[in-house]
Amino acid sequence: MAGKQGFTWMDHEPLYSAAETRALDRWAIDHAGISGALLMSRAAAATLEQLLLRWPQPPLLQVLCGTGNNGGDGYLIADRAHRRGIAVQVLQVGDPGRIAGDALLAREQAQANGVTVAPFSPASLQPSAILVDAMLGTGLGGEVRAPFAAAIDACNGGGQPVVAVDIPSGLCSDTGRILGRAVRAELTVTFIGYKRGLFTLDGPDCCGVLEFSDLALPLEACGAVAPGWRRLLLDRMLAQWPGRPANAHKGDCGRVLVVGGDVGMPGAVALAAEAALRSGAGLVRVATRQEHLSALVARTPEAMVTGVRSGQDLQPLLAAADVLVVGPGLGRSSWSQQLLQAVAASDLPCVLDADGLNLLGEGRVLARQPREHWIYTPHPGEAARLLGVTTGIVQGDRFAAAVQLQEQLGGTVVLKGNGSLVVADALRLLSDYGNPGMASGGMGDVLSGIVGGLLAQGLDGAAAAALAVCLHGAAADSAAEQGQRGLLASDLMAPLRRLLG
């Protein structure tokens, strides 16, 4: 196996929290000499431009404005549309007496230029209108309350297309969680920096098509406020990974041992083994139940398959491996526990998934201690068991849960889901590749095999995990071109090979 290689992460897309975005705003005002009013004007221009690209001749714009700066953006959108001869109406949500600062100046400008402003009521929304959501923005700190709750329900219930300004109202920009209710937009135009909540959990469902404008902030702004997370870009990782030399042989490409497949679960190890091979591993062995040998050889003849009865039987296979993938179909029997104990006693890099994670969470087989050369790939339910909390708590703040897991377990943690997260020490990454068709059995087994195959070829833990989650999702996106429903884990193998080729 080659020496460990990582990637350069600074050129991947910065993702910001609400506080970090406010710091960017403040930097622009204090250091770049860009006033808050000018930023608001640029945001309005960017939003209207994107809206008109999709609806060049809107019959009517109805702009729902809140009482903060998001509402100020909305007033300036309405003002620009009115000056272009587009029929527009502002519907004020919330007490206009609370509007202040730049938002108040924007309201006064729109009214002075003849924009019609009326209090919001659900009956105000016209069936032919395009709605602009400029109600709540990134500053929402708790559950949506009246009158915004009724306005959001009306936006979602009328069938009109909705354009969200910066972020759909009701969506938490830090977590991607819906705060009671949230606008379901067809288009979201976000500003200054990408908000991390747009890319995970409920964010993609709420924002629809996502467009971005940096509002002409100078490049220095990116260095002034360090992002807590970065969004992974597959093409940049693939461009950094060198091709194989002409004289490469299978021994150069790493040896993976997949451990699992208890009674009745041979498919999981078969998928993991094939994924490791399709990812480019030179040799893949499978340690499983004796009765599964013929099925595995028939399914994946390129993998070498050995029946094992105990942890002792695993020892010679461990000695011949560079990387371990443990957990697919492992089960929780005494056989499973013996194999996991044997794995833990070795010093090999290990990808731990599925029942391997569940056994770790139970604490009877493995001691809970940091293992720096392990990669853990839990889904939210497994993450909850490891943390001793509910799945709802994990999903309520996936970013915090992933960081907490990595602090407890060491190594690299991949928290799977819509917007998979990769954490390794200070490195915090998000992959938004993938689609709902992946909600089917065996997908996690494929991911663990890809991670193992990339580790075996010389990538370090963080690089292997990051590249694997992107490849996994991108392969599923390619396979889903024929439809998301009915997508199978094995459908990812051919596009995976194409992506790596």
* Cα 473 from Cα 481, distance rounded (Å): 13
Among 153, 133, 134, which Cα is nearest to 145's? 153
Count CB-CB contacts under 10 A for residue 90: 27
CB of 138 closer than 8 Å to CB of 198: no
Among 420, 404, 422, which Cα is nearest to 465's? 422
CB of 259 closer than 8 Å to CB of 459: no
* Cα 335 from Cα 310, distance rounded (Å): 6
Among 146, 164, 145, which Cα is nearest to 155's? 164
* Cα 136 from Cα 203, distance rounded (Å): 15
Q: What count of Cα atoms within 13 Å lies in the side-chain half-sphere of residue 216? A: 11
Residue 158, classified by CB atoms within 10 Å of its CB into exposed (0-12), middle (13-18) or buried (19+), is: middle
Among 33, 2, 468, 500, which Cα is nearest to 250's? 2
Per-residue pLDDT of the chain (501 residues; tens, 9 = 90+): 445 899 999 989 999 999 999 999 899 989 889 999 999 999 999 999 999 999 999 999 999 999 999 999 999 999 999 999 999 999 999 999 999 999 999 999 999 999 999 999 999 999 999 999 999 999 887 999 999 999 999 999 999 999 999 999 999 999 999 999 999 999 999 999 999 999 999 999 999 999 999 999 888 877 889 999 999 999 999 999 988 888 888 888 999 999 999 999 999 999 999 999 999 999 999 999 999 999 999 999 999 999 999 999 999 999 999 999 999 999 999 999 999 999 999 999 999 999 999 999 998 888 888 999 999 999 999 999 999 999 999 999 999 999 999 999 999 999 999 999 999 999 999 999 999 999 999 999 999 999 999 999 999 999 999 999 999 999 999 999 999 999 999 999 999 999 998
Among 176, 210, 234, which Cα is nearest to 478's? 234
Instruction: Give strand pairing partners of 171.
Output: 178
User: 498-501: long-range contacts at Cβ-Cβ below 8 A with a sequence spacing of 24 or more?
Assistant: 499/234, 499/238, 499/471, 499/474, 499/475, 500/238, 500/278, 500/279, 500/280, 500/471
* Cα 494 from Cα 479, distance rounded (Å): 8
Flag whether the pTM goes above 0.75: yes
Per DSSP, 264 falls in state T
* Cα 149 from Cα 147, distance rounded (Å): 6
CB of 107 closer than 8 Å to CB of 92: no
